[in-house]
Amino acid sequence: MSYGRADKQQLQKYIDKTEALIDEIVNSKTSVTVTGTSYYVSAQGDDSNDGLSPETPWATVAKVSNYTDFKPGDGIFFKRGDTFRFETFEMHSNLTYSAYGEGKKPLLLASLDGVGKGKWVATEYPNIYAFTEKLCGDSTDYTKNRDVGHICINGGKCWGIKVQETKEGNRLNIGTVFNGIEHYTTTVGQFRGEMDLDHNLEYFHNWDSETLFMYCDMGNPGEVFESMEIALRGRGIVVGEWIQTEHHGPRRSAENVVVDNLEVHGTGSHALVGCFFKNTLVQYSVFKWIGGAIQGKYIFDRNYSTRFGDAVECCFADNHVVRYCYASQVYDCCFTVQWGAPSTMVNIEMYNNVSEFCNTGLEIWNNGGVMKNMDLHDNITRFNGYGWSNQRPGKDGNFFYGAYWVVKESENNHIRNNLNYCSSKFSHLLRATGSKYYNFHDNIYVMEEGKMLGGIVENPATSEGERINAEYTRENIEKYQAMGFESGTEFYEIEKEPLGDMFKVCVTK
DSSP 447-475: EETT-EEEEEEEETTTTEEEEEEEES-HH
Q: Please state the pTM of the whole predicted model.
A: 0.95
Confidence of residue 261 (pLDDT cuts 50, 70, 90): very high
Does the pLDDT of residue 468 top 70, yes or no?
A: no
Count helices and strands in the chain by DSSP H and E runs: 5, 43
Taking the C-alpha atoms of residue 483 and residue 423, their distance in angstroms, rounded to an integer, is 24
Give the helix, strand, coil percentages of the chain, each rounded to 5. Answer: 10, 45, 45
Mean pLDDT of 113-117: 97
Instruction: Single out the residue of 316, 426, 428 nearest to residue 372, CA to CA.
Output: 316
In terms of average pLDDT, the best of 9-18, 41-50, 176-185, 252-261 is 41-50
- Cα 478 from Cα 465, distance rounded (Å): 18
pLDDT band at residue 410 using 50, 70 and 90 as cut-offs: confident
CA 185-421-366 angle, 5° bins: 85
Other CB atoms within a 10 A radius of the CB of residue 183 amount to 12
Residue 505 has pLDDT above 50, yes or no: no
Positions of E strands within 172-297? 176-178, 183-185, 202-206, 211-215, 228-232, 236-239, 241-245, 249-260, 263-267, 272-273, 276-283, 286-290, 293-296
Task: Give one DSSP letter per residue of 475-506, joined into a string.
Answer: HHHHHHHHTTSSBT-EEEEE-SSTTTHHHHHH
From residue 359, how far is each of 2, 158, 164, 218, 335 by CA, in Å?
26, 18, 19, 30, 11
Compute the distance between CA of residue 21 and CA of residue 299 in angstroms, rounded to an integer. 38
pLDDT at 1: 56
pLDDT digits (tens, 9 = 90+) for 289-303: 999 999 988 888 899
- pLDDT over 80 at 243, yes or no: no
* β-pair type (183-185, 176-178): antiparallel
Residue 265 has pLDDT above 50, yes or no: yes
Beta strand ranges found along 366-451 (DSSP E): 370-377, 380-382, 398-401, 409-416, 419-421, 428-429, 439-441, 444-448
Residue 461 has pLDDT above 80, yes or no: no
Alpha carbons 466 and 113: distance in angstroms, whole number: 48
pLDDT for residue 508: 38
Going by pLDDT thresholds of 50, 70 and 90, the confidence category of residue 138 is confident
pLDDT range class, residue 424, cuts 50, 70, 90: confident
The residue ranking higher by pLDDT, 318 or 429, is 318
Q: How many CA atoms lie within 13 A of 45 on its CB side?
A: 29
Element (H, E) at 221: helix 221-224
Q: Delineate the domains of the chain, giving CATH numbers in brackets.
A: 2-26+52-106+235-506 (2.160.20), 113-230 (no CATH)
Contact assessment for residue 390 and residue 424, using Cβ atoms and an 8 Å cutoff? yes
Contact in structure between 239 and 275 (CB atoms under 8 Å): no
pLDDT of amino acid 465: 57
* Average pLDDT over every residue of 266-291: 96
pLDDT band at 434 (very low <50, low <70, confident <90, very high): low
Most trustworthy range by pLDDT among 31-40, 298-307, 336-345, 359-368: 31-40
200-240 pLDDT per residue, tens: 999 999 999 999 999 999 999 999 999 999 999 999 999 98
Query: Which range has the worst mean pLDDT, 59-68, 89-98, 251-260, 499-508?
Result: 499-508
Q: Report the pLDDT averaged over residues 269-281.
A: 94
217 vs 221: CA distance, rounded Å:
9
Reply yes or no on whether the pLDDT at 185 is more than 50.
yes
* pLDDT reported for residue 403: 64
- Are residues 346 and 375 in contact, defined by beta-carbon separation less than 8 angstroms? no
d(CA 458, CA 467): 6
CA distances from 289 to 56, 155, 328, 445 (A): 32, 10, 7, 25
Give percent above pLDDT 90 in the chain: 67
pLDDT of residue 451: 86
Distance CA 323, CA 365 (A): 20
Closest CA to 241 of 489, 72, 478, 474: 72
Task: Give the residue, 368 or 296, on which the prediction is more confident.
Answer: 296
Distance CA 421, CA 493 (A): 10
